[in-house]
Amino acid sequence: MAAKQKKRYVMVIDTLLCIGCGDCVVACKMENEVPDGLSRDWVVEEVQGEFPNLHVEYRSERCNHCSNPPCVYACPTGASFIDEDSNITLVDPELCTGCKSCVAACPYDARFIMPEGYVSKCTFCMHRVNDGEDPACVSVCPTHCMYFGDLNDPESEVSQLLKQRQHKTIAPETGTDPNIFYLT
Amino acid sequence: MPTSFNRRDFIKIGAAAGIGTAMVGPSLFRRHPTARTTYPRQQGDLIETSPTYCEICFWKCAGWVHSKNGKPWKVVGHPEDQHSHGRLCTRGTGGIGAYTDPERLKRPLIRVEERGEQVFREVSWDEALDYIAHKLSVIKETHGPESLAMFSHGTGASHWKTLTKAYGSACITAPSFAQCRGPRAAGFYLTYGDVVGSPERTDIANSRCMVLIGSHLGENLHNGQVQEMGTFLANGGEMIVVDPRFSTAAGKAKHWLPIKPSTDLALILAWIHVLIEEELYDRDYVERYTTGFEQLKEAVATNTPEWAYPITTIEPAVIRETARTMARYAPATLVHPGRHVTWYGDDTQRSRAIAILNALLGSWGREGGFYIPQTAQVPEYPHPEYPEPSWKMCEETQKIFPYALSPVASHIRDMTVAPPAPDKQVKAWLVYGSNLILSLPDIEKTIQAIQNLDLLVVIDIMPAEICGWADVVLPEATYLERYDDLRISPGRRPQIALRAPAFEPMYDTKPSGWIVKKLAAKMGLSQYFPWEDDEDYLDWRLRQIGSSLDEMLEIGVKTLPSQGPLYFPPGADVTFNTPSGMIELYSEQLEQYGFDPIPVYRAHQEPPAGYYRLIQGRSPFHTFARTTNNPILTELQDENTLWVHPTTAKDWGLETGQYVHLENQDGKHSTFPIRVQITERIRTDCVYMVHGFGHSQKQMSRSYGKGMDDNELVTNVDVDPIMGGTGRRSNFVTFKLENATPMEAA
Ligand code: SF4
């Protein structure tokens, strides 16, 4: 029997469609019961140019589930780890001491401390992905600007999109090898 | 015995006296689970779902409310629903916040006087409803039942409308007509004999070219339309956006026309001119379906792009190019009619011009333009005939505004102050879900009208400003805690949706179905409410179309067989519901009332030196003032900002983040300050803020004093003489830089 191929889950977000409505942020909060005042994803608005020659880009951002994750390296207890079958980066609350090394190490400011004292962040809604569903943010986006899938599968929608369209990642210079791609 | 007040003082809802001030009811914070885990769904969790349709805005998306282990969890869209296609918008996704908001109205309140001060006393439902029933019977005897006016916004209003009619009044209004989309309704009705409706019959998903005129889809999250805009853009649709602001939509558009505010009609006429001059219009469509083309051609002969340029600041070449773009994709070109269109008092004429432009492109009744909507036919529960009122408000309104298609809220307000005849007085208001203080322009006059009333009853979820003026406040259960009437709305297919309670009502709140039935019994009007309860009512109606309440509880949304084609079949004869049976490019109806039969551009007031036109809009995170206290949504935005161009900012020495006060042309000073947001995304002659902030009710702690209420700066209202709309964009503001500290510091 062939070994099950490891997945590389990525998110592909079309900035040409994103309207910055924040539905992804609220859907995540509700789905994952994120406490008041905290959130696992957020929207960035970037304005360039001068009136009337302007360009606005909205980006839904979150943990990049980096293939080269500084947070995991920074964790002294092994609480931060990459899921075995995928590249999903997770935190084990039982092992986390709340030392914040990972929070400082993450170039995307994706991590935060829960009121209970452990670190939390985006999980790509692993509980939903395991059930064959899209992450909550992807499933709610009103303009369908977000895609989720396995980049190791060349036939997947995300693979196809990255083949056909111009794209970028955030802060690639940090060498994190991020897995959130933005179509431009 | 009910007391009566010569003058109502504004009461802060927090100032309750008498019985029942102790807090009871279930715990408020239900969203945060106790599990120390990154995985919110665990084995053995009990997940229950129940159907609803959203009430956070008027779009009414159907969805499923999920609870986990008996606690509210989330609301998600219903995949079969035409309004949401399985995806709720930001606000609907955060809808549970309406339920968990600890600052909701909790118990019925009655205004009483204690030690010379007016306060609210918490009372039982029986006492509140007895009070209302008694007052209404006295009012009926003294002034006749026609003196009751009902203001509605929202689904639960249906019960109150029934009660109003049963009582003997036809005076039912929705501020959404004269304060929002009425001009569009009148303009399209006069042209096509039909309205655009809600949800709009716009076929955006199939459009190739879409023109937005001041409409900021994407910031207003009318869910279905925003989703279709996504499809449209993904398919390479070309968008033309006319807006003094670089809106989100402008950022997605091929052409942004940063028009000088108040001149849109000139641009539309120039476009019409180009289509005719260059013979780009749909000749066959125009010949087959329209009347008045020759008069139109003559009327716009001088409206050249060169004529429009100094008015609009849009270059003639751009006007020509965009007109040609529209023609290239026609009839799959949609000149969007907008929704909130009460701007300058000539709004019906501007809507007419948009209707005419669409007719020239042949887009009405065509794929990619406007489809023919289908609505499910569901019989009404039988009830006795309503008594015939001796006079009707809509007839009074139409004497002044001939195309007021529904009674005009601001006009009823005005008639409450100055009745048209001694025997035509308005003495009682039922205000359902409609914060008239923030939604009707000219707040002073609204308060003056309220002082003339014998009874003001407010039915609401939140202690909105209007509650502070009420004699009786009735706390309604949220949409997540109640049944409502079926959602029967126009769409591409006939479809119905059910709202069922997902949770028990919190505190001492009740659904309107329950409240009204009980009140009707006290008023001797039970025969108009012959059903047992909400379930019996709904089941009866559903059985008439071969469904049942049980079925709908299972499926939530039911799509019925199609009633006909969505578009005019090619070459088909179509009779329009106009006097001529044709699309009326030239309107004899308007001419007969002395209005321009073809729209004519007339200049509007300009801001004085040092003043800027105040423009208002929507945010994707809120449904105007309704949600600005929602604990989930305030995390995304808890105050509005004032968009200011860098040049303006430089002139005034402003910095982003700084708080400023504003004063308008009439010397009206803002109550609360607003944060400056310096941005290239706006012209220099106007400033912009999102409507719905700057609440003055202390009880709503998350919204009290946060941001600015644009409505208080709207003291100049340009009334649309055709339908009574209240144009609000000829108000000009200047900066007041002293003492502009934010609320917390003040
Ligand atoms: S558009 Fe949003 S707020 Fe309005 S009904 Fe739909 S989900 Fe609710």
pLDDT tens column, B433-466: 999 988 888 889 999 999 999 999 999 999 999 9
Lowest mean pLDDT among B66-80, B354-368, B690-704: B690-704
Please list the helix, strand and coil fractions of chain A in percent, rounded to the nearest 5, in that order: 20, 25, 55
What is the pLDDT at residue B745?
40
CA atoms within 13 A on the CB side of B2: 20
pLDDT tens column, B619-649: 999 988 889 899 999 999 999 999 999 999 9
| Closest CA to ligand 1's atom 8 | B92
What is the pLDDT at residue B18?
38
Q: Which of B75, B86, B227 is facing A143, going by the closest CB pair?
A: B227
Residue type, A141: C
The residue out of B324, B340, B373 marking a domain boundary is B373
CA of B223 relative to ligand 1 center, distance in Å: 6
What is the pLDDT at residue B3?
52
CB contact under 8 A, A123 and B38: yes
Q: Which residues are near ligand 1 (CB < 6 Å)? A: B 54, 56-57, 59-61, 84, 88-89, 91-92, 221-223, 623
Burial zone of B33 (CB within 10 Å; 0-12 exposed, 13-18 middle, 19+ buried): middle
pLDDT tens column, B299-353: 999 999 999 999 999 999 999 999 999 999 999 999 999 999 999 999 999 999 9
Chain B hits for A16, Cβ within 8 Å: 233, 252
For residues B655-663, average pLDDT: 95
Chain B hits for A126, Cβ within 8 Å: 38-39
Q: Is residue B566 part of a domain?
A: no
CB contact under 8 A, B221 and A21: yes
Chain B hits for A51, Cβ within 8 Å: 246, 258, 645, 680-683
Q: Is residue A98 part of a domain?
A: yes
CB contact under 8 A, B89 and A23: yes
pLDDT tens column, B219-269: 999 999 999 999 999 999 999 999 999 999 999 999 999 999 999 999 999
What is the pLDDT at residue A5?
80
Q: Which atom of ligand 1 is nearest to the CA of B59?
A: 5
Distance from CA of A55 to the nearest CA of B (A): 6
Question: CA torsion sign, A6 to A153 to A125 to B480?
Answer: negative
* β-bridge pairing A180-183 and A167-168: antiparallel
Q: How many CB atoms lie within 10 A of CB A45?
A: 12
What is the pLDDT at residue B115?
80
Domain identity same for B472 and B328:
no
Distance from CA of B211 to the nearest CA of A (A): 17
B78 — pLDDT class (breaks 50, 70, 90): very high
The residue out of B100, B120, B153 marking a domain boundary is B100
B201 — pLDDT class (breaks 50, 70, 90): very high
Q: Which of B87, B233, B635 is facing A37, going by the closest CB pair?
A: B635
Chain B hits for A145, Cβ within 8 Å: 230
What is the pLDDT at residue B214?
94
For residues B499-516, average pLDDT: 96
Count of domains for chain B: 4
Q: Which of A20, A55, A91 is facing B248, going by the closest CB pair?
A: A20
Lowest mean pLDDT among A157-171, B262-276, B384-398, B539-553: B384-398
The residue out of B373, B407, B435 marking a domain boundary is B373
What is the pLDDT at residue B403?
93
* DSSP conformational letter for B286: H
Q: Is residue A74 part of a domain?
A: yes
* β-bridge pairing B472-475 and B455-460: parallel
Residue type, A150: D
B740 — pLDDT class (breaks 50, 70, 90): low
Q: Is residue A171 part of a domain?
A: yes
Q: Which of A122, A123, A140, A164 to mutate to test the interface with B (most CBs of B within 10 A)?
A: A140
Determine the residue of B55, B58, B59, B636 to mutate for testing ligand 1's pocket, defined as the one with the most ligand atoms within 8 A of the Cβ atom: B59
CA angle B8, B14, B20 (to 5 degrees): 105
Residues B55 and B478 sit within 8 Å (Cβ to Cβ): yes
Tell me which residue range forms the domain holding A93: 9-183
Domain identity same for B199 and B145:
no
Tokens of B76: 């998600």
User: Residue B57's domain is classified under what CATH number?
Assistant: 2.20.25.90
> Residues of chain B with pLDDT > 70: what percent?
94
What is the pLDDT at residue B742?
56
Cis peptide before A178 (omega within 30 of 0): no
CB contact under 8 A, A17 and B251: no
CB contact under 8 A, B93 and A47: no
Mean pLDDT of chain B: 92
Residue type, B386: Y
Domain identity same for B193 and B156:
no
User: Residue B280's domain is classified under what CATH number?
Assistant: 3.40.228.10
For residues B167-176, average pLDDT: 91
What is the pLDDT at residue B163?
97
Helix (H) / strand (E) element for B142: namely helix B125-143
* Cα dihedral A80/A82/A83/A89 (nearest 10): 70
CB contact under 8 A, A52 and B682: no
**β-bridge partners, B213:** B242
> Residues of chain B with pLDDT > 90: what percent?
85
What is the pLDDT at residue B25?
26
Domain identity same for B229 and B261:
yes
What is the pLDDT at residue B14?
54
For residues B404-421, average pLDDT: 89
Q: Is residue A56 part of a domain?
A: yes
Domain identity same for B270 and B161:
no
Mark the ranges of chain A whose per-residue pLDDT is less than 70: 1-4
User: Residue A126's domain is classified under what CATH number?
Assistant: 3.30.70.20
First-to-last C-alpha distance (Å) of chain B:
42
Q: Is residue B535 part of a domain?
A: yes
Residues A30 and B68 sit within 8 Å (Cβ to Cβ): no
* Cα dihedral B695/B700/B706/B712 (nearest 10): 0
Residues B488 and B199 sit within 8 Å (Cβ to Cβ): no
CA distance A47 to B151: 42
Distance from CA of A156 to the nearest CA of B (A): 18
**β-bridge partners, B583:** B290
What is the pLDDT at residue B395?
87
What is the pLDDT at residue B179?
87
Please report which residue ranges of B195-263 form alpha helices under DSSP H: 223-234
Phi, psi of A176 (to 5 degrees): -85, -15
Tokens of B373: 């909507």
Lowest mean pLDDT among B115-119, B223-227, B545-549, B637-641: B115-119
Tokens of B450: 């309220």
Q: At what angle do helices B347-361 and B264-277 cross, to 10 degrees?
A: 20
CA of B160 relative to ligand 1 center, distance in Å: 23
Domain identity same for B407 and B364:
no
Residues B320 and B328 sit within 8 Å (Cβ to Cβ): no
User: Residue B634's domain is classified under what CATH number?
Assistant: 2.40.40.20
Residue type, B562: S
Answer whether residue B38 shows pLDDT above 60. no
| Closest CA to ligand 1's atom 4 | B57
The ipTM assigned to this model is 0.96
Count of domains for chain A: 1
Tell me which residue range forms the domain holding B114: 109-171+390-496+509-559
Domain identity same for B160 and B188:
no
Lowest mean pLDDT among B511-515, B676-680, B695-699: B695-699
Q: How many CB atoms lie within 10 A of CB A153?
A: 14
For residues B58-67, average pLDDT: 96
Domain identity same for B368 and B410:
no
